[in-house]
Structure 1
């Protein structure tokens, strides 16, 4: 996927911390560090949204749906 150059304003303390990570070779450069941080934040937001939707499910109702039509005495032999 292509990349797009953007300009962002970041406070000095964050830049110092990013630069330290680059110096320690945790990241190749500032761009890589910031890109990774953005991806991780997006991932957390998406997982949280999924978890919130899953929390709305009724476990008893979901079990009924999962078991619907299954009769354990009629399982095929393998």
Structure 2
């Protein structure tokens, strides 16, 4: 995957905490830690958007779609 270099500004306290994690080998580098954090945040945003859209759905309409044609299928099933 292609990567791009960027410059960021981060407060000293956060940077010190990040450096401790890198020093303890929790992350291989600052860059890796920040990349993982951004990726995780973007994934959370995507999931949040999906949840918001799902909340707009009408459960009764969804149920009717799921059951559409189900009564005909029951008549076609062989008896055991």
Q: Give the alignment's TM-score, normalised by structure 2.
A: 0.89
2:50 matched residue in structure 1: 50
Aligned structure 1 segments of 4 or more residues deviating by more than 6 angstroms:
none
- Cα offset, 1:76, TM superposition: 6.4
Between the two proteins, the alignment pairs up a number of residues equal to: 77
Larger of the two Rg values belongs to structure: 2
Alignment of 1:1-78 (within 5 A): 1-71=1-71, 72-75=74-77
Deviations 1:26-75 (A, max 9, x none): 10000000000000000000000000000111111100011111122324
* CA distance in structure 2 between the aligned counterparts of 1:73 and 1:46, rounded to whole angstroms: 42
Structure 1 residues not aligned, in runs of 5+: none
RMSD: 1.5
Structure 2 residues not aligned, in runs of 5+: none
Q: Give the alignment's TM-score, normalised by structure 1.
A: 0.91
